[in-house]
Amino acid sequence: MSNAACPCGSSLPLTGCCGLYHLGAAAPSAEALMRSRYSAYALGLVDYLVHSTLPAQQKNLDQTAIRAWSLNSTWLGLEVEHAELIEGEPQHAYVTFIARWLDDGAEHSHRERSAFVRNNGNWFFIDPTVELKTGRNDPCPCMSALKFKKCCAAYF
């Protein structure tokens, strides 16, 4: 792993920042997980992007599209605007950010408010593009042992 600056913009070396999470350490916050996901896109770490997504959504991710976007883009920077922790069991969080990248000769930016859930000490990204076939009274897909309507329903 490189001692170059971490792509997340922290000004720390990759080995002392997102690289720790890429190698298996648990991200301590939703913001840290979101930053590590941006870095994973910049580094082409598709397996990490899949692993850090809510487990119930992982099998439905379009890994080919993720890999193509990751590898065919030049990642220009990340700005975290706001991180909001929602206490409870399990914990949920929102992180609002702007990601910038270059592809096909054009510069792009994307502003997003992403949702996250923490379960068994690990934060997971809740991907709004991946449909879950979950009824309101079904067990929550975050594995909290709560019904969906009492847990993640507000975040999907």
pLDDT of residue 150: 83
Give me 34's structure tokens.
């979101």
pTM: 0.91
Q: What is the pLDDT of residue 148?
A: 86
Distance CA 101, CA 47 (A): 20
Q: Comparing C-alpha atoms, which of 88, 111, 116 is closest to residue 30? A: 116
| pLDDT number for residue 76 | 96
pLDDT given for residue 36 in this prediction = 98
Query: Are the C-beta atoms of residues 30 and 60 closer than 8 Å to each other?
Result: no
The low-confidence residues of the chain, meaning pLDDT below 50, are: none
Is 153 in a helix, a strand, or coil?
helix
Domains of the chain: 14-155 (3.10.450.50)
pLDDT computed for residue 90 by the predictor: 87
- Burial class of 89 by CB neighbour count within 10 A (0 to 12, 13 to 18, 19+): exposed
| Burial (CB count within 10 angstroms: exposed 0-12, middle 13-18, buried 19+), residue 132 | middle
Could you tell me the two tokens for 58? 């992982």
